[in-house]
Amino acid sequence: MIYFDNVSKIYRDGTPALEDVTVSIDPKEFVSIVGHSGAGKTTLLKMLLAQEKPTRGSVFFESMNVHELHPSAVPHYRRKIGMVFQDFRLIPNMTAYENIAFAMEAAGRADDEIESDVPYILELVDLSTKANHFPSQLSGGEQQRVAIGRAIINQPDVIIADEPTGNLDPINTYEVVEILKKINELGTTVLITTHNKGVVDAMGKRVITMDRGRIIRDDPQGQYIL
């Protein structure tokens, strides 16, 4: 499904962000990408999102070379990928329901679809009773679960979660991880970057370890080892 073919990224000042990265990710996998700050994790994700172009090599999503897409095709391509961020990025004057519905409206979905799908997603992320709450009325973990709901509402093939538990306490971290696992079990590919050893070790899923722009470990059922 996703294939990085000998990908390198070197910035203008000569700093290498990625060096000769070759890795494939199959449909429905759950993959944790770990490494110290500056290891290349975020650059790898930006390559997949067509936000950065490789200096050398190619990135494929299904049969598409991501960086050969016409600019007008990039927004449509990105709808195949749902993004979850460390800082939630919710719209403060919209309720949980409205934040999720807004993502459907932006994709041009019909009103009847919104009315049927948003309650289902709120239930999936265990927020049915908080549908009318604004972000300021929700805990950090609840806000992140709204963000996850927003990311999956348009049924993307892949969810990318970039340090999704970085601002959360252990209890909320556990709840967010359980939601991501549930989404993966329903058939969505999940890529997560994290510094949280406990999260990675609890998964028992594939772990890709990066260091200085290179993949130094790729364990089918790994742990956080640095």
With a pLDDT cut of 90, the percent of the chain lying above it is 74
Beta partners for 7?
A: 21
- Rounded to 10 degrees, the C-alpha dihedral 52/73/159/101 comes to 120
- For tokens 């722009």, name the residue: 213
Q: Taking phi first (over 0 means left), then psi (-120 to 50 degrees means alpha), and beta for anything else, what does residue 221 get?
A: beta
Dist. CA 221–CA 127, nearest whole Å: 31
- Residue 83, CB-side half-sphere exposure with 13 Å CA sphere: 15
CA 117/CA 109 separation, integer angstroms: 10
Per-residue model confidence (pLDDT) at position 226: 64
Residues 6+ apart with CB under 8 A from 159: 81, 82, 83, 84, 148, 151, 152, 180, 183, 188, 189, 190, 191
pLDDT of residue 12: 86
Give the relative orientation of helices 140-152 and 170-185 as an angle to the nearest 10 degrees.
Answer: 20
**Which residues, in sequence order, are CB contacts of 75 under 8 Å at separation 6+?**
none
- Whether the pLDDT of residue 210 is over 80: the answer is yes
Q: What is the pLDDT of residue 188?
A: 95
Predicted confidence at residue 59, as pLDDT, reads 97
pTM flag (> 0.85): yes
Question: Sorting pLDDT into bands at 50, 70 and 90, what band is 171?
Answer: confident
Assign residue 43 a region: left if phi > 0, alpha if psi is -120 to 50, beta otherwise?
alpha
